[in-house]
Structure 1
Amino acid sequence: MAERTRIRRLIADELGDCCDEDVEQRLDELQVLADTAFGDDAVRPVFAVLGNTTRYRLARALAVADGELCVCELEPLVDVGESAVSHALSDLVDAGLVGRRKDGNWRYYRSTEFAETLFESADRGVSGDE
């Protein structure tokens, strides 16, 4: 109920007056916004996977690497064991941020174009070079 009170005050400040119909109309508009923003939230797993420091560092390293890297080359970049690195890389593959290929006993990982674009966009946004 507190949300209705605050929305009523906001509408009253903007319009000079507010009735129940104005509040209901605004709440309906906000529901459409929520449905649009969260309805088919396909990118949420991408940001969720990057919320972990190990996964973020691995994805970032691969995005700036020149080509593929083996798990054994990625392990020194993070402060976790081989199993945790492999698990983190699997999560990154599932999120579409990393690709992998197997060559004999070795697994090689590379950044996807999607990940590279994501990091480049974030870098531009942070630096203000839009």
Structure 2
Amino acid sequence: MSQSRLRRRIEDEVGECCDADVRQRLAELDELADSTAENDGARDAFAALGNETRHRLTRILSAADGELCVCELEPVVDVSESGVSHALADLVDAGLATRRKEGNWRYYDSTALAEDLLAVADGGSA
């Protein structure tokens, strides 16, 4: 919203408006925007589930009884090996999966956040 439109809105709301009113409202809006930055992790997690491959991998990891190796995940999704690796890295970055390396093998597991988001998506509660 431009400052002139904001000024008009304040005038409509309270009957008058000065520069100090506009500055005060802009400061309030900046504080509001700053307070929402704490939820960037949740936004990233939702965004990660927006991709079909990442969504499927999250569901598989969630349904598994413990960790799964990349070699176990590759055959069940119809994407390249590098595509699976990239999707899993995105899930780890978004907080939806954990990664553990043991020798040449990488193991993945779902996180509590993934479980909660999937429960909500399925109509349950977290």
With the length of structure 1 as denominator, give the TM-score of the two structures: 0.70
Aligned to 1:27: 26
Q: Residues of 1 paired with 2:29 and 2:68: CA distance?
A: 45
Q: Residues of 2 paired with 1:46 and 1:35: CA distance?
A: 19
Aligned to 2:97: 98
In the TM superposition, what whole-angstrom CA distance separates every residue of 1:46-98 from its partner, at most 9, and x where no partner exists? 34433433223211332244444343443354331122112211232233211
Q: Residues of 2 paired with 1:11 and 1:123: CA distance?
A: 42
Matched, 1:89 2:88: yes
Partner AA of 1:21 in structure 2: A
Aligned to 2:114: 115
Q: Residues of 2 paired with 1:122 and 1:6: CA distance?
A: 38
Check 1:123–1:18 CA distance in 2 against 1; reply closer, same or farther (3 A cut): farther
Unaligned runs of 5+ in 1: none
Check 1:65–1:14 CA distance in 2 against 1; reply closer, same or farther (3 A cut): farther
Give the 5 Å matches for 1:30-69.
30-38=29-37, 43=41, 44-69=43-68
Aligned to 2:17: 18
Query: Segments of 4+ in structure 1 off by > 6 A?
Result: none
RMSD of the TM alignment (CA)?
3.0
Aligned length: 125
Unaligned runs of 5+ in 2: none
